[in-house]
């Protein structure tokens, strides 16, 4: 099926380097697939080391002029980019749906989410204040000023093809950094369209550079950036093993790093919870993007006293979810990204069943719809040793376990190397204070399943990484502090 956009020129098929749209130096290209059909519908350059170097040269050359642009003017450019994203949200949403698979309404919602980060950092650009420090001796003035770190490399994931790259590029540009970026292999088209609109918004040539590459060639691109001291910061969203590799490989050049890595979020429902609110929160959080979200609940613990009631309400809602292609306006859950994702979900369900869990809803792939669909699924009787408790499933599966002791459930919730998001539902204010402190996690939803927002600091602890995106802290990830000491003033 063809892709019809109001603006055809938002379907880009080349790298964006130094303000030019160009092919890979090798001339190679790779196919972009529609996950609903597992069939190619577009192609982009398959970049390599030469393209990565060209992007880096441009970003490096553009840095002195961009950092000298007054913050107010950088802010205006970002504000225009935000306006263009919103103006073209339907076209951008169609690109997301086509290459990533999420339903169109959700994809358009993602554009609004991406734009909210651009709007936020347009405003932060003019507020990156430093400090005037009271001097300890006479005749001195002391200041702490914030400066852009330089060229930054951004590596973004496929699950939010617009929002994740926007929340890296926007603070970088706001801070006065220039950017080399590699969007995820599966979803390059949305990022290229975003770059086209950034160009129209007035981002100067060389300030933003995008190199696309297939899974096989992506390491060649990234290795160039990792090895080069001119790349001063790396920001990455993706898996913990890749994050560890990037941290190790950044050690020689001592890059500043932000790593938003895997999660394994607990979702705890206490006996005094508002069960309708808890089911709403779980549905919103778990089934956003079909469960392909780092912050979505991966382990659901329900108190014995309300377990059966909660599961009954949950199953009613899950069984009513409409699964189908993004192009069908009634679809609520699209396909998973690819065959490997389906295999992982199937493995988790199989493993749980073999260890004593029960399927109470779903549990099967949906080949009649296409190769990458899986039924929204609820499992009960889940225990800590099952794969679905130990690994991020990244699919539409809700694994439910029972508990009857607060201390034990907190220990189990924390019993993972990860610490990105955690959720709990209770009406007890003392318990809220206890869990808010005890849960080892970067984000906590308290009687709330949808926690992410441009105004909030997003990021993890433990094996979920470090650094924060969004909020007033987000721009600091792209700046360093310089201390100025002027003496001889008395």
For ligand SIN, the binding residues (CB under 6 A) are 159-160, 163, 237, 260, 293-295, 452, 458
Pairing assessment for the beta strands 297-303 and 358-361 based on DSSP bridges:
unpaired
Residue 362 or 445: the one with the smaller Cβ distance to ligand SIN is: 445
Nearest residue to ligand SIN on Cβ basis: 452
Q: How far is the CB of 165 from ligand SIN (least distance, A)?
A: 12
Residue 148 or 445: the one with the smaller Cβ distance to ligand SIN is: 445
Range list of H helices, 21-126: 49-68, 71-87, 89-100, 104-124
Residue 160 or 310: the one with the smaller Cβ distance to ligand SIN is: 160
294 is catalytic: yes
Residue 24 or 107: the one with the smaller Cβ distance to ligand SIN is: 107
Give the C-alpha separation, 186 to 34, whole Å: 9
Sign of CA dihedral 202, 207, 208, 211: positive
Q: How far is the CB of 275 from ligand SIN (least distance, A)?
A: 24
Q: Which of 284, 244, 267 is nearest to 464 (CA)?
A: 244
Q: How far is the CB of 327 from ligand SIN (least distance, A)?
A: 23
Residue 159 or 190: the one with the smaller Cβ distance to ligand SIN is: 159
364 is catalytic: no
Q: How far is the CB of 185 from ligand SIN (least distance, A)?
A: 17
- Candidate list 99, 124, 260, 406, residue with the active-site label: 260
DSSP letter at 320?
Answer: T
Sign of CA dihedral 196, 166, 290, 108: negative
Structure tokens at 302: 């329900």
- With both helix axes pointing from N to C terminus, report the angle between 71-87 and 163-175 in degrees, rounded to the nearest 10: 160
Give the C-alpha separation, 253 to 151, whole Å: 13
Q: How far is the CB of 116 from ligand SIN (least distance, A)?
A: 11
DSSP letter at 205?
Answer: T
Other CB atoms within 10 Å distance of the CB of residue 483: 11
- Candidate list 33, 199, 294, 406, residue with the active-site label: 294
For the chain, the straight-line distance linking the first and the last C-alpha, in angstroms and rounded, comes to: 76
Q: What positions carry a catalytic annotation?
A: 260, 294
């Amino acid at each position: 099926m063809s892709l019809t956009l109001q603006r055809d020129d938002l379907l880009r098929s080349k790298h964006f380097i130094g303000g030019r749209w160009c092919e890979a130096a090798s001339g190679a290209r790779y196919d972009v697939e529609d996950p609903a059909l597992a069939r190619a519908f577009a192609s982009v350059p398959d970049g390599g080391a030469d393209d990565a170097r060209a992007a880096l040269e441009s970003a490096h050359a553009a840095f002195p002029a961009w950092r000298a642009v007054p913050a107010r003017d950088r802010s205006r450019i970002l504000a225009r980019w935000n306006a263009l994203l919103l103006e073209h949200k339907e076209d951008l949403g169609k690109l997301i749906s086509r290459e990533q698979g999420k339903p169109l309404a959700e994809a358009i919602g993602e554009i609004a989410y991406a734009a909210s980060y651009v709007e936020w950092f347009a405003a932060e650009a003019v507020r990156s204040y430093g400090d005037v420090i009271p001097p300890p001796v006479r005749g001195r003035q002391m200041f702490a000023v914030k400066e852009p770190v330089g060229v930054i490399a951004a590596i973004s994931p496929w699950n939010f093809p617009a929002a994740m790259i926007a929340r890296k590029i926007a603070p970088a540009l706001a801070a006065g950094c220039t950017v080399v970026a590699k969007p995820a292999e599966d979803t390059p088209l949305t990022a290229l369209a975003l770059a086209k609109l950034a160009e129209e918004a007035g981002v100067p040539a060389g300030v933003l550079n995008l190199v696309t590459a297939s899974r096989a060639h992506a390491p060649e691109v990234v290795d160039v950036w990792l090895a080069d001291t001119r790349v001063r910061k790396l920001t990455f969203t993706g898996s913990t093993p890749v994050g560890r590799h990037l941290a190790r490989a950044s050690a020689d050049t001592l890059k500043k790093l932000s790593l938003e890595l895997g999660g394994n979020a607990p979702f705890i429902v206490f006996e005094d919870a508002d069960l309708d609110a808890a089911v709403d929160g779980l549905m919103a959080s778990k089934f956003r993007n079909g469960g392909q979200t780092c912050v979505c609940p991966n382990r659901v613990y329900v108190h014995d006293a309300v377990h059966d009631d909660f599961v009954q309400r949950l199953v009613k809602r899950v069984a009513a979810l409409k699964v189908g292609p993004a192009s069908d306006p009634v679809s609520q859950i699209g396909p998973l990204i690819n065959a490997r994702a389906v295999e992982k979900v199937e493995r988790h369900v199989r493993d749980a069943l073999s260890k004593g869990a029960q399927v109470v809803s779903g549990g099967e792939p949906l080949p009649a719809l296409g190769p990458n669909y899986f039924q929204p699924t609820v499992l009960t009787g889940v225990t800590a040793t099952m794969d679905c408790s130990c690994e991020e499933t990244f699919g539409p599966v809700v694994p439910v376990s029972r508990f009857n002791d607060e201390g034990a459930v907190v220990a189990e919730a924390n019993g993972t190397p990860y610490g990105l998001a955690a959720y709990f539902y209770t009406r007890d204010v003392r318990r809220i204070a206890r869990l808010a402190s005890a849960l080892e996690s970067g984000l906590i939803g308290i009687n709330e399943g949808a926690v992410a927002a441009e105004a909030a600091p997003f990021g993890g602890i433990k094996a979920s990484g470090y650094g924060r995106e969004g909020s007033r802290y987000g721009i600091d990830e792209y700046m360093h502090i310089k201390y100025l000491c002027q003496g001889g003033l008395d």
